[in-house]
């Protein structure tokens, strides 16, 4: 990476997602000016992805849209929240997809167990943010602390979860030689 300013295109205008990208990338490039530009990027999947595969696909679709329509940038980033069920029950998580030059890295947040009443509403076609707003009497929680903030009583946030996933997904860019990219 060079000392010139870096431009990052984020496939969302959601302040939580743009903030997570900023929180992750600025410390990784100390002394370098980094600018962040949010843009609408369609996911190509359901408004509420209901599987790991669909969530990952949504993040990759958004990232690729940014690459195609976001102009010249150093990094193209997209984040997608989803739900799935494992042997431990339903849960919420997010995927991040990052592109730099010809290299792509994908990462995932931690798993947040979901209450059965929330999962049932999702199966009925509701979106997670709307379900949480209804249950907790909040407004637009997905652009704030998210379901994770509500269900952990504020001890974790959506932005923090995405920030950690972003930092981890940056490893191949920070050490490209070890990942066979140089």
Furthest CA-CA distance within the chain = 51
Helices (H), 29-139: 52-69, 116-123, 128-136
Binding site for substrate, by residue number, is 72-73
CATH label of the domain that carries residue 69 = 3.90.950.10
Per-residue model confidence as pLDDT tens digits over 42-57? 999 999 999 999 999 9
> Is 144 domain-assigned?
no
Secondary structure in 3-state letters for 134-162: HHHCCCCHHHCCHHHHHHCCCCCCHHHHH
pLDDT of residue 182: 60
Whole-number Å distance between alpha carbons of 114 and 3:
43
Range of the domain at 91: 6-113+156-178
Give a yes or no: residue 127 inside a domain: no
Asked whether residue 143 is assigned to any structural domain, the reply reads no
In a domain, 65, yes or no: yes
Does residue 43 lie within any of the structural domains? yes
In a domain, 145, yes or no: no
pLDDT, tens digit (0-9, with 9 covering 90-100), for 132-143: 999 999 998 887
- Counting the structural domains of the chain, the total is 1
Residue 30 burial (CB < 10 Å; 0-12/13-18/19+)? Answer: exposed
Tell me, yes or no, if the pTM score tops 0.85. Answer: yes
Q: Specify if 135 maps to a domain.
A: no
As annotated, the binding site includes 72-73
- Indicate the SS3 state at residue 84: strand
Closest CA to 168 of 8, 24, 7, 37: 24
- In the annotated binding site for Mg(2+), the residues are 72
In a domain, 105, yes or no: yes
Report pLDDT digits (tens) over 55-93.
999 999 999 999 999 999 999 999 999 999 999 999 999
């Amino acid at each position: 990476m060079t000392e010139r300013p870096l431009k990052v295109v984020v496939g969302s205008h959601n302040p939580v997602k743009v903030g997570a990208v900023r929180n992750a990338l600025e410390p990784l490039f100390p002394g370098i000016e980094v600018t962040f530009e949010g843009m609408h990027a369609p996911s190509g999947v359901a408004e509420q992805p209901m599987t790991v595969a669909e969530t990952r696909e949504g993040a990759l679709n958004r990232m690729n849209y940014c690459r195609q329509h976001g102009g010249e940038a150093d990094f193209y980033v997209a984040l997608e929240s989803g739900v799935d069920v494992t042997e431990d029950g339903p849960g919420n998580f997010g995927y991040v997809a990052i592109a730099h030059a010809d290299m792509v890295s994908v990462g995932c947040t931690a798993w947040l167990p979901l209450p059965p009443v929330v999962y049932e509403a999702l199966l009925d076609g509701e979106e997670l943010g709307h379900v949480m707003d209804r249950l907790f009497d909040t407004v637009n929680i997905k652009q704030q602390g998210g379901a994770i903030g509500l269900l952990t009583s504020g001890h974790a946030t959506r932005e923090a979860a995405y920030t950690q996933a972003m930092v981890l997904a940056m490893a191949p860019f920070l050490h490209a030689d070890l990942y066979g990219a140089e």
